[in-house]
Amino acid sequence: MTTTLITGASSGIGAELARQLAAAGHDLALCARRTERLDELAGEITAAHPERRVAVKALDVTDDDAVFRVFHEFDVELGGVERVVVNAGLGKGAPIGAGGYAANRATAMTNFIGALAQCEAAMEIFRARKHGHLVVVSSMSAMRGMPRTMTSYAASKAGVAALAEGIRSEMLGKPDLDITVTTIFPGYIRSEMNEKVEQQTRFMVDTETGVRGIVEAIEKGVDTARVPAWPWKPLGTAMRHLPLGVVRRLG
């Protein structure tokens, strides 16, 4: 049995991850800014799986001190957190120089600086215990620079992917530490973040289907995963090599 901590668990991908991981036998530590939603989710999960332990706490991942405190509190209360899913994210944005700096900054602070704090807190726990599984949720938009409202978001997710890869690289040189690092690159998965996007957006899949691919990758402990695998596994490779004028049409 694994105890998994998920940030940004109150809605969308985070909430569905909690449901599917609970069904797979995981105990859960769930945190987000909106505790009323977390309480509802915890009730739903324990009703469906009475044997599961589900703990909830309020957390704003841009509050550095709170991140470290909440992660360590969960670790103590649940007898050891073995996996952390760095999932909390923000999708605000505006074209650079168009007067939307506040939105772009908020996205960068949440998606990168907030993720850095979460990785630091998780790795403190894992290093002390000499094992653990860090899962970092990036985005397919991290493959290349994106235009318009996606610019800051894509840049923050590229930074998160590089952060995870750096941690993974270090762990390769630490045979005494059994720590796995998985980077997830979701494509267009329906969530609250993109609820205003038209349903016919190319390649969009429903939340349950998209998260099923994420859970599969997490359970396998792979280094990286583009999900859903079709079309994002081949498309991600193409995105890295296609002319920027072609790639921008995917933004």
Which residues are catalytic, by number? 153
Return d(Cα 38, Cα 52) in angstroms, integer. Answer: 15
Return d(Cα 133, Cα 14) in angstroms, integer. Answer: 17
Return d(Cα 208, Cα 214) in angstroms, integer. Answer: 10
Of 69, 157, 67, residue with least CA distance to 112: 157
Put the strands of the sheet holding 178-186 in their side by side order: 54-58, 27-32, 3-7, 83-86, 131-137, 178-186, 224-227
Of 28, 29, 30, residue with least CA distance to 9: 30
Query: Tokens 């999960």 identify what position?
Result: 45
